[in-house]
Amino acid sequence: MGEVLDRGLVLTFPRPNSFTGEDCAELQVHGGRAVVNAVLKSLAGFSGVRFAEPGEFSKRAFENGKMDLVEVEGLADLLAAETEMQRRLANEQANGHLSTVYDEWREKLIYIRSMLEAELDFSDEGDIPGSVSDRVWAEVAVLKSQVDKAITNLRAGEIIRDGFKVALAGRPNAGKSSLLNALAQRDVAIVTPIAGTTRDVVRCELDIEGYKFELFDTAGIRGTDDVVEQEGIKRALRTIIDADLVLQLFDISGIHEEDAELTPRPTLRIGTKSDLAIGVVPESAKLDMTISVVTGEGLMLLRERLLDAVRQGTRVESLAIPSRLRHAERLRSASLHLGSALEGHAMPIEIRAEDLRLATAELARVTGRIDTETLLGKIFSEFCVGK
C-alpha cells in the first residue's frame, strides 16, 4: 500500500463549464514545497500525465471558444498587475469589455457590407428603397472616427499598463539621486558629495495612488574627458528623450547660468536644496517649484504634480481601450481601409465594398477570429505554467 502524502480536497469541473471548456480536476493540498513536490512526483508516474506548458490552460480555453485573444491578453495582464489602475485596465480586457467594442464594429461593417451587396445583387428589383450606399457611408465615417479615437487612446493604455516614465535630469550634484531616494522612501541610488557618482541609469518603480511610475536617475550632464562618464551621459540623454516627463533639477544653492540649456525637452523645472539657498534665485532659472529632501519642502507638491501629469496622459472616457501595439497596428490598418472606402467616390461599389471587407478582417484579427497561429506561441508564453 502506498504512502499517504497529504490530506486534501479533490474538485471536479465538468465540461463545458470549466475554465478550459474540458473536463478538469483540481487537487487542493497543503502548500508547503515538500508536499507539493511529493504530489507532483507521484502524479508524474501515471501514464499520459505530464506538466502543462506555460499558458496551456488559457490556450485550451481560447481554442475551445471560452475566451478570445483580447481576453487572453487581458488575463495575462491581470496576473501581472501590480497597481490598481493596471488591475482595472486588465479587467476591462479579461472580462470582454474591449472585445465587445471590437465585435460591435466588426458586426456593423458586416451589416453595411450586406446592404451594399443587396444593392449590387438586387438593384433592378423594387424591394430596395432608394440608394442604400448613400445612407451607409455616413455610418462608415462614424465608425472610422471611433476606430481612430481608439488608436489615439493607445498611449493612455500603454502608460497605465507599462508605467509613466519620469527622468531625473540635471548637472552633477543637482540632487537627482537624493530626490529619487526621497520619492522611493528607501535608498535606491548611491548619494555622495562627489560630483559624477551616478554613472549609469538607476531605475525605480513606484505605485502612486494606483498608477505605476518608472523613475530614472541619470548621470549628471556636463563636459568631461572621462570615457565612462561620457557613456553615462549618452544614456542619460537617451532616457530623457524616451521619458513621458522630465524633472530638470537645479541646485539653487549655487545655480549655473548654463543650466538653462541643460536638457533638450525640460518639462518640470525644479530647484533643489532650498534649505541651503542663500539670497534670491535668478529669474532666468524659470523654476516651477523648489524642494528640499532634508526638510521635505515641496515633496508633497511634487507628488501632486506627478499625479496631475499621469492623469492628463491617461484621460479617457472608459478603460476599454487598447494597451498593446498589436491592437494599434490592426486598428490602423482597418482605419486605412475605411478611409480608402470613404474617399473612393469615383470607384465602383464593388471596390469600396472590398475595402470594407479588408477592414472587417483586420478587426477580426484583433480578437483572434482569423489568422491567429503566428500569435499564439508568443502570447501564451507570457503565462505561468499554472494558467
Mean pLDDT (10-residue bins), the chain, 387 residues: 87 95 94 93 89 90 94 95 97 96 95 82 55 81 97 97 94 89 84 66 94 92 77 86 92 66 68 76 74 93 96 94 96 98 88 94 90 59 62
**Cα(214)–Cα(204) distance, rounded to whole angstroms?**
6
pLDDT at position 372 is 56
Tell which residue, 223, 206, 222, has the closest CA to residue 214. 206
CB atoms within 10 A of CB 54: 16
pLDDT at position 222 is 75
CB 189 within 8 A of CB 217: yes
CB atoms within 10 A of CB 316: 16
The strand pair at 245-251 and 164-170 is best described as parallel
pLDDT at position 375 is 57
pLDDT at position 154 is 97
Kindly list the structural domains of the chain, giving each domain's residue range(s) and its CATH number in brackets, ordered by start: 1-51 (no CATH), 92-153+325-380 (1.20.120.430), 160-313 (3.40.50.300)
Tell which residue, 283, 279, 278, 291, has the closest CA to residue 168. 291
Q: How many residues comprise the chain?
A: 387
Residues 6+ apart with CB under 8 A from 9: 27, 28
CB atoms within 10 A of CB 18: 19
pLDDT at position 387 is 64
Torsion 346-350-353-359 (CA) sign = negative
CB 321 within 8 A of CB 170: no
**Cα(324)–Cα(158) distance, rounded to whole angstroms?**
7
pLDDT at position 223 is 77
**Cα(111)–Cα(139) distance, rounded to whole angstroms?**
11
Residues 6+ apart with CB under 8 A from 359: 109, 333, 334, 335, 337, 338, 341
**Cα(159)–Cα(94) distance, rounded to whole angstroms?**
18
CB 106 within 8 A of CB 363: yes
Using a 10 angstrom Cβ sphere, with 0-12 exposed, 13-18 middle and 19 or more buried, the burial of residue 362 is buried
**Cα(21)–Cα(185) distance, rounded to whole angstroms?**
47
pLDDT at position 232 is 81
**Cα(37)–Cα(49) distance, rounded to whole angstroms?**
15
Tell which residue, 382, 341, 329, 333, has the closest CA to residue 361. 333
Tell which residue, 149, 146, 92, 161, has the closest CA to residue 310. 161
pLDDT at position 345 is 82
- Cell numbers describing residue 185: 522612501
Tell which residue, 201, 202, 198, has the closest CA to residue 226. 198
